[in-house]
Chains A and B, each alone.
Chain A
Amino acid sequence: MFELQEVCKSYVRRGHSVTALRASSLTIPRGDYAAIVGPSGSGKSTLLSVLGGMLTPDGGKVLLDSVSIYDLPVAKRTSFRRERIGFVFQTFNLVPYLTALENVQIPLFLAGLPDDEQQVRAETLLERVGLGERLHHKPSELSTGQQQRVALARTLANDPPVILADEPTGNLDPDSRRVVLDFFDQLHAEGQTILVVTHDTFVADRAKRIFHLADGAITEQSESSQLRVA
């Protein structure tokens, strides 16, 4: 279970303090599929960074499966993140000089798997996302939809129980967007916890719960239209 307890975070820019998150609390049960919606500048990236163990908050706690992430030393936090959390980025963030196969191998290498196991697992994942014929293509040789699928395969490399997605369909055409959202549904059905940060209500509506983020505060929670319909 993911839990934020009164987390706050500010930045100082040119002598002025900017509050990105203020006393925010959030609980995401295991296996949940939630969306956090907010306008540009509302603190979505800050929230994701804090949830992902990459940005130490000024106050409060972040708990994942009862472990306080920011009480861990940096090295332990890094390995904790590697094992438990997968990231999906808006701009895919693929390494441009590595092939699709090599990009998917990165988390496996960081987890310490030997080369041959990395290769087998990476190939399986790419075949799962429909890119079995594109293993040795670099990102520049793939369409945006294909790049995002490579990024998804990379996210799943270490089989993380939690997936944090930052505007995962922001740069995609409608067809590719549908593919990604269908994939999230599939992962959710398999038991993974998914948290999507987006300003797109269409994407948010695919989630089971929606949180609203405005001016650094998680202000309300609503059920998605799927649940309302149900």
Chain B
Amino acid sequence: MNIKKIAWKELWERPTAMITSLLAIALGVTALVAIRHITVFSEQEVKHQLSELGANILILPPAASLQDYYSADVNGGTLLEEHVSTVLLANLAGVEKLSPKLCTSVKVGGKDVILTGVLPQSEMNTQAWQSVGMFAKKNKHEGCTKASTGVVDTSPEALASLRTIEELDRFAVVVGADVAASTKLQAGASLVLFGTQFKVRAVLPPTGTVDDGRVFAHLHTVQELTKSGEVVSAIEVMGCCEDAAGGLVPQLKALLPDAKVVTVSQVVETQVGVNRLLAKSSIFVLGVLVLVGGATVASSTSANVRERRREIGTLMALGATPNLILRLFLLKATWLGLAGGIGGALAGIVLAVLLGPHWAGVTVSPLPSLAAIAVTAALGVTLIAAYWPARSAAQLDPCTCFREI
């Protein structure tokens, strides 16, 4: 017999009270952990987008909606391809690259994937620059913050990170990671799209974006196959740095009044707003955890002390010190706090992993430090809530053992 055994047996003597307290703590922790996980990963994704794409601008059809940068070109609307020349002719300072794209849906291996037509940079440089004769007079951004290495990555895999491709044959494709995995396509394999045979030039590394579900082909090939004419779904403008991008937006809006010009900051603005709301929600949930969970534990412990007055008096008559009585109740509270905290944290993580992609479009993985903080908070709330009732138990008069019920 020891204090742990007494506390453990007493805990299971009243399972309803135990389950009620556990649920009160666990539910609060579940909500807190789930919201915080999604918030953290959503904020990371926004930061990632801003850092990777902060200098990028999208020119979109006027009716395009802004849900996510990476899928902004999958909007159903189109622009004239001649807008590319318009931008080039304008010779705006800070424009590093242009990447016009046309998106359509196609079946690969029985599944719908996005077929994206991109114009290789080599053809852009050759055709567009030569046609306007401006190649030698490219307008450089003064005070550009980006160091130029002068090295161009010509590998097709660079499309994943640089969002442009240097070389792509008319009947060659580059396949996103998810498409390749589901269809077992590898470099060198053949693929039929719209009744035309293509050769797989490369498989992109996973990006965690919608690009993993795309097949990239030559822009003009896609225009011909879909008979869409000389149109594009979006024109991606790569600025040399974020400063340049900021200055380019009003210029592009003036140049193309019938198009929507957005920066990645605008695209993620909604997500930033959602993240702020989620962050505030998590503070609210913490408050609920403290109030509701704490009140439930305090109430349940007080009721427990009242129910066990005679037992406590008897223990004291047998030689239990007030300190032992206090420890008895706090030990029970510790177990409840830990069980509720750990159970709630695990449930919260599972919920975040399952719901993150649907709620915030982000992939969530467990953050042990966040879970540990939540468990610690749950334990703290439980111990504080149980302390005063436990103290009143320790201060009970041992004479209660002589009193009739």
Which A residues lie at the B interface, using CB under 8 A? Answer: 45, 48-49, 52, 54-55, 74-75, 78-79, 81-83, 87, 89, 91, 93, 95-98, 102, 105-111, 115, 118, 154, 158, 166
Contact = CB atoms under 8 A, between A and B. Distances in A.
Contacts of A105: 1
Contact of B318 (A91, A98, A106, A118): A106
Interface residues of B, number: 30
A84 B314 CA distance: 16
Contacts of A109: 1-3
Interface in B1-37: 1-3, 5-6, 9-10, 12-13
A97 to B, nearest CB: 4
B1 A106 contact: yes
A97 B311 CA distance: 11
6 contacts: A83-B319, A87-B401, A91-B310, A93-B401, A98-B1, A109-B2
Contact of A108 (B1, B6, B321, B399): B1
Contacts of A87: 317-318, 401
A110 B318 contact: yes
A54 B399 contact: yes
Contacts of B2: 109, 115
Given A78-B321, A96-B13, A97-B13, A89 B1 contact: no
Interface string B360-390: 0000000000000000000000000000000
Nearest to A78: B321
The 4 closest A-B pairs by CB, nearest first: A82-B319, A105-B1, A97-B13, A54-B398
Contacts of A108: 1
Interface SS of A by simple majority: helix
A111 B398 CA distance: 18
A98 B6 contact: yes
A115 B397 CA distance: 29
A89 B401 CA distance: 8
Interface of B: 1-3, 5-6, 9-10, 12-13, 310-311, 313-322, 324, 397-399, 401-405
Contacts of A166: 402
Interface SS of B by simple majority: helix
Contacts of A45: 399, 402-403
B241 to A, nearest CB: 71
Contacts of A89: 314, 401-402
Contacts of A54: 316-317, 397-399
Contacts of A115: 1-2
Contacts of A52: 317, 398
A81 B402 CA distance: 16
Contacts of B403: 45
Contacts of A111: 319
Given A45-B399, A54-B397, A55-B397, A91 B319 contact: no
Contacts of B322: 74
Contacts of A48: 402
A49 B402 contact: yes
Contact of A78 (B310, B313, B316): B316
A110 B320 contact: yes
